[in-house]
Amino acid sequence: MSIRLALPTGDPRPAVGTLLQEAGIAAECYEPGSRVLRSVVEQERLTLRIFREKDIPIQVALGNYDLGICSDVWVSELQVRFPLQRVVRVGSLPGARMRVWLCASPHSGVAAGRVPSAEALAGARVASELTNLADLVGVHLRIPGYRLLPLYGSADAYPPEDAELVVMPAEGPEAIRDLGLVPLHCLYEGGLTLIANADSLASKDLSPLLGKLRPFLGGDKGTIDLPRAGGDAPFRTFERDYSVVRLALPDGHAQRHTWAALADAGLTFEGYEEKKFVRRPGSGIDGLEIKVLRPQDMPALVATGAFDIGVTGIDWLTDHLCRFPSSPVRMAVDLGRSRYKIGPVVDHDFPAETTVEAVRAWNALGRPVRIASEFPALAEAFARDQHLASSQIIPISGASEGFVPEDADILIEGSETGTSIRANGLKMLDPFMESTNCVIVRNEAVTARTDLLANLLARLQKAAHAPAVS
C-alpha cells in the first residue's frame, strides 16, 4: 500500500524540493518548471500529487492524501472555520516563515499598532484572500456590520477606496509601509508544516516517509494572535467619488493582452506596461481613475458599483453570472485576445472521446460524479446542462491537472495549447465555450460621467477589431 503525499507548487516548491532531496526522498517530476503534477515512485511506495497550497489541507482532511507539506497559514485558515476536520500537524519544517497582518490605509487616520474600537470600525469592509482569518478578526473585534470581501489576491490595492481594512501576508511593518498601508497588528506567524490525515496516522504505516522527515521536524508551529481594540483611536472611511469613472485593469497573465488592446485603442496609462505595473497607474484623462487588480475579482467589483468598467476574461464573467444570474454586470466589448477553450478534461484512458459518450459512462457510475474546477459555478452549470444524475463540485485554486483521475472524475479547465493536459496523462473532450479577454460594465452606470464611460467603450470597441496578440 503506497503513501499518498501532497506537495505544494508555487513559491515553496524550491525549498520543499531541496528538503525532500536532503531527506533522501525521490520526488520524481517535482523539479521547478515541470508541468507534471502527478507521479508514482514505486521504490518508495509513494504517490505524489502537486497542488496549490490552499488546497492541500483540504485534500488531507478529506483523506485523499495521508500526508501533506504546505505553509502552516493554510492549515490555520482551514481550522479556523472547520476545527473538527481530520488534520493533524505532525511538525514544523525548515523554510521561510510567513506573517499575516491586519492593515489599514493612512487615509483612515489610525496610528501603527493602534486598532480602533469596534464602534469606530462599524460597517468596515475587510478585504482578504485569507477569508476565514479575516472573518475571525471581524468577529473577535465585534465590529458591527462589517463586510468581508473575499479576494483572489492583491489585497494591498484595496484601501482606501474599496476597503477599510485588509488581512494579508507581509514580512513586517516596513514592507507594509512600502505598500502605502499602516500596520495594525500581526495576526499570524508560521512556516512550512507537515500535516497528516488523522485516520491515516492512526491506522496506516507511514513510517517509511515519516522516518526520513523526522530529523527535519522541529521549531515553532504557526500561531494566531488576535488584536485588542485600541480604545478611542480615530478612524475615517472613504466614500466612492461618483464624479469619476473607475477602471479596473488586470495583473497576471492577462496583463500583456490588455496592454496591447489599450494600445490599439490609443490608450496608454503611465505605470501600466506590457510586463510592469503599479497598482494605481496615471490615466492622463480628466475624470478617469485606474486600479490594477486580479481579473477574477472584477465581475463582483463592477456588479457592486465599486468600479464602472473592467477588463477580465469571459470565463470569470460567465462563472460569476452562473453563480449570480441576476447580477447587474454584462460584457460590453469582446477584445478577442488571450483566447482559449474550456471543456471537460478526463483521464487519457477514460472510455469516451465525446461528452455525449462520457455522460453515459458517468451516469452509469452509481455515485456522484466528482467535478473539480477553478470555476465552480461554471462546473455546476455544466453538470446541470449535461443532465448528470448526481454530481459533487470540488472548488480548487489551481494546479488543476493533479486532481484527475484519483481525486476527481472531471476537470472543467481552460487550455490554450493542451500541453499541460497531455503532460499529465489527460485529454479534453468537447469544449463547450471559448474564453477571451473582455470589457465589462454594469447594466446601469453609477458614475455621473457617462459621457467619459461611453467614450472609453467606443475606443475599446475599435481595439476589438485589431489583430490579437498571440
The answer on pLDDT for 401 being more than 50 is yes
Positive/negative CA dihedral, 258, 260, 266, 271: positive
Q: Looking at residues 351-359, what average pLDDT do you find?
A: 96
Cα–Cα distance for residue pair 373/383, rounded to 1 Å: 12
pLDDT the model gives residue 325? 97
Neighbours of 123 (CB within 10 A): 11
Per-residue confidence band for 470, with pLDDT thresholds at 50, 70 and 90: very low
Give the single-character DSSP code of 221: P
Q: Distance of CA 157 to CAs 115, 160, 166, 220, Å?
A: 20, 8, 9, 31
Per-residue confidence band for 416, with pLDDT thresholds at 50, 70 and 90: confident
245-339+436-463 topology per CATH: D-Maltodextrin-Binding Protein; domain 2 (3.40.190)
pLDDT the model gives residue 465? 65
Cα–Cα distance for residue pair 248/99, rounded to 1 Å: 28
- Classify 279 as helix, strand or coil: strand
Cβ neighbours of residue 270 under 8 Å, at least 6 residues apart? 281, 282, 284
| Residue 444, burial from CB neighbour count under 10 angstroms (0-12, 13-18, 19+) | exposed
**Lowest mean pLDDT segment, chosen from 28-42, 152-166, 174-188:** 28-42
The answer on pLDDT for 26 being more than 90 is no
Backbone angles phi, psi at 75, to 5 degrees: -70, -45
Task: Kindly state the cell numbers that stand for 407.
Answer: 481525486
Which ranges of 245-297 does DSSP label H, i.e. alpha helix?
255-264
Nearest to 169 by CA among 221, 225, 97, 109: 97
CA 372, 375, 381 angle in degrees (round to 5)? 85
pLDDT the model gives residue 464? 87
Cα–Cα distance for residue pair 467/71, rounded to 1 Å: 43
pLDDT the model gives residue 140? 96
Neighbours of 427 (CB within 10 A): 17
pLDDT the model gives residue 221? 84
Q: In this structure, are residues 468 and 336 in contact, taking their beta carbons and an 8 Å threshold?
A: yes
Per-residue confidence band for 298, with pLDDT thresholds at 50, 70 and 90: very high
Backbone angles phi, psi at 276, to 5 degrees: -130, 150
pLDDT the model gives residue 469? 47
Nearest to 301 by CA among 397, 438, 165, 162: 162
Of residues 279 and 27, more confidently modeled: 279
Query: Do 245-339+436-463 and 3-95+189-221 have the same topology in CATH?
Result: yes
Q: Could you state, in order of their start, the residue ranges of all structural domains in the chain?
A: 3-95+189-221, 99-188, 245-339+436-463, 340-435
Nearest to 29 by CA among 10, 12, 48, 5: 48
Give tens-digit pLDDT for 227-264.
998 767 678 888 899 999 999 999 998 999 999 999 99
pLDDT the model gives residue 34? 85
pTM over 0.85: yes
- Classify 420 as helix, strand or coil: helix
Task: Kindly state the cell numbers that stand for 215.
Answer: 530529523
| Residue 235, burial from CB neighbour count under 10 angstroms (0-12, 13-18, 19+) | buried
The answer on pLDDT for 466 being more than 70 is no
The answer on pLDDT for 1 being more than 60 is yes
| Residue 417, burial from CB neighbour count under 10 angstroms (0-12, 13-18, 19+) | exposed
Of residues 151 and 96, more confidently modeled: 151
**Strands (DSSP E) along 374-430, which ranges?**
391-395, 410-415, 426-428
CATH number of this structure's domain 99-188, picked from the four choices 3.40.190.10, 3.60.15.10, 3.10.50.40, 3.40.640.10: 3.40.190.10
Cβ neighbours of residue 365 under 8 Å, at least 6 residues apart? 409
Class of the CATH-defined domain 340-435? alpha beta
Per-residue confidence band for 418, with pLDDT thresholds at 50, 70 and 90: confident
Give tens-digit pLDDT for 50-86.
999 999 999 999 999 999 999 999 999 999 999 999 9
Task: Kindly state the cell numbers that stand for 152.
Answer: 483572489
Give tens-digit pLDDT for 368-393.
999 999 999 999 999 999 999 999 99
Please report where in the chains the cell 487550455 appears, as a residue: 415
Q: What is the mean pLDDT of the chain?
A: 94
Backbone Cα Rg of the chain: 23
pLDDT the model gives residue 357? 97
Backbone angles phi, psi at 266, to 5 degrees: 75, 25
Give tens-digit pLDDT for 85-101.
999 999 999 988 999 99
Cα–Cα distance for residue pair 329/440, rounded to 1 Å: 7
Q: Distance of CA 89 to CAs 6, 66, 123, 427, Å?
A: 14, 12, 36, 36
**Strands (DSSP E) along 314-398, which ranges?**
329-334, 340-347, 369-373, 391-395
CATH 3.30.479.10 fits 3-95+189-221, yes or no: no
Cα–Cα distance for residue pair 180/47, rounded to 1 Å: 45
Of residues 27 and 373, more confidently modeled: 373
Cβ neighbours of residue 199 under 8 Å, at least 6 residues apart? 63, 86
Q: Looking at residues 191-219, what average pLDDT do you find?
A: 95
In the chain, the percentage of residues whose pLDDT exceeds 90 is 85
